[in-house]
Amino acid sequence: MTEKSHAHALLGKLEHYIQNEFPIDAGIGKSPRELYEPITYILSLDGKRIRPLLSLLAYGIYKTDPETILSQAAAVEVFHNFTLMHDDIMDDAPLRRGKEAVHMKWNNNVAILSGDVMLVKAYDLLLPTQAEKLGEVIRLFNKTASEVCEGQQFDMNFEALESVHEDEYINMIRLKTAVLLGFALQLGALLAGAEKDDAQKLYDFGMNIGVGFQLKDDLLDVFADQAKFGKQVGGDIISNKKTFLLIKALELAEGKDAEALNYWLSQSDFDKEEKVQAVRGIYEKLGIKAITEAKMNSYFEAGFAQYDAIHFKNEDYFLELKKITQDLIHREKGSGIDLSRPDLFTKTTSTFSSTCSPSTSSEEWLSKCLLTSLV
């Protein structure tokens, strides 16, 4: 790769802003330290910075100075990490990105309060927006923030329900995951002065891609290659998580298949590998993989249809954002880039880790930083 991608360059600037300028501008690190240290801690973990990158690239489709909206892009990342901090409390998750979750390193009360301050700081980061656009940006941000909370509540509600309908599940993942991707793209477009119709198309693109990626995540949890997946295959089966696959299996299973599926769902003491193999076998018999792939691809296709319909001004940004998304769709979680494919080194990139340094060689950087999921 002889030329750095726009995404490569922008991520370096974004990371510098988040780690160096944001703490000063937002007053992070001041007393009491117990309130602010968790914020710098979670932002220093290996975050992918996908959402703010989407804002910057969407802006670049219309104007060539996306570094002027680093503050607003960072607002999306700070809000996202606020939701993660609170999600970890609700899920009692011990780890976040391989390190102690904030509530484990400190305590629940500290994590709640620090998360609250992060939400406030996200609003601060939106304030540099031009006065004539600020009201609309805040309105859309508030709508998105409310929807993310709605999605989290639906997800928690599902844990206590015996059955969840397919439409309910799709709506939950749309709210919990996809709307923030849509907002990130819409934000960049609006700040660049794009027509509202184009900004809406970019929102719809992000929303559809986000739903598709969550369905892919559900699929990979059951059918991925363990060596490439990056976490235990079958984790959703072990925990009886109501994913799209389980919902469809419960809908379609009859006779002995239904009996076997309900048996494994009712067991509290079981061999994990045996349960995963048994339930996966039921999924295979019912054709759940093909059904999920068809649903997933319908969202990907709908998203790209919206994207291809926008009116862009800067073709290089337009093509790069599209290529990034396409590469993500065709790569399994946890897998690295295929170094034998030279086409992946031509002004394109994928998802990134905050530990990636733009000063590293292009091949080293891509092999370290290309991840495979927007969710």
- pLDDT the model gives residue 282: 98
Q: What pLDDT was estimated at residue 3?
A: 55
Question: By the 8 A CB rule, do 57 and 10 touch?
Answer: yes
Q: Is residue 328 part of a domain?
A: yes
User: How far is CA 157 from each of CA 161, 162, 168, 240, 357, rounded to the nearest angstrom?
Assistant: 7, 10, 11, 14, 41
CATH classification at residue 63: 1.10.600.10
What is the DSSP annotation of 237-304?
A: HHTT---HHHHHHHHH--HHHHHHHHHHHH-SS--HHHHHHHHHHHHHHHTHHHHHHHHHHHHHHHHH
Q: What is the largest CA-CA distance in the chain?
A: 64
- Within a domain: 74: yes
Number of domains in the chain: 1
End-to-end CA distance of the chain: 27
Amino acid, res. 117: V
Judge whether 55 lies within some domain: yes
86 within a domain of the structure (yes/no)? yes
In a domain? residue 270: no
The predicted structure's pLDDT at residue 365: 40
Q: What is the pLDDT along the chain (375 residues), one digit of tens a residue?
A: 335 689 999 999 999 999 988 887 677 777 898 999 999 999 999 888 999 999 999 999 999 999 999 999 999 999 999 999 999 999 888 888 889 999 999 999 999 999 999 999 999 999 999 999 999 999 999 999 999 999 999 999 998 898 999 999 999 999 999 999 999 999 999 999 999 999 999 999 999 999 999 999 999 999 987 666 555 679 899 999 999 999 999 999 999 999 999 999 999 999 999 999 999 999 999 999 999 999 999 999 999 999 999 999 999 999 999 999 998 888 765 443 332 233 333 333 333 334 444 444 443 343 344 343 344
Domain that holds residue 28: 6-205+303-369
- Report which DSSP code applies to 178: I
Give 100's strand partners.
95
**24 within 8 A of 369, measured Cβ to Cβ:** no
Q: Is residue 273 part of a domain?
A: no
Residue 210 lies in a domain: no
96: helix, strand or coil: strand
Residue 298 included in any domain:
no
Identify the DSSP state of 339: T
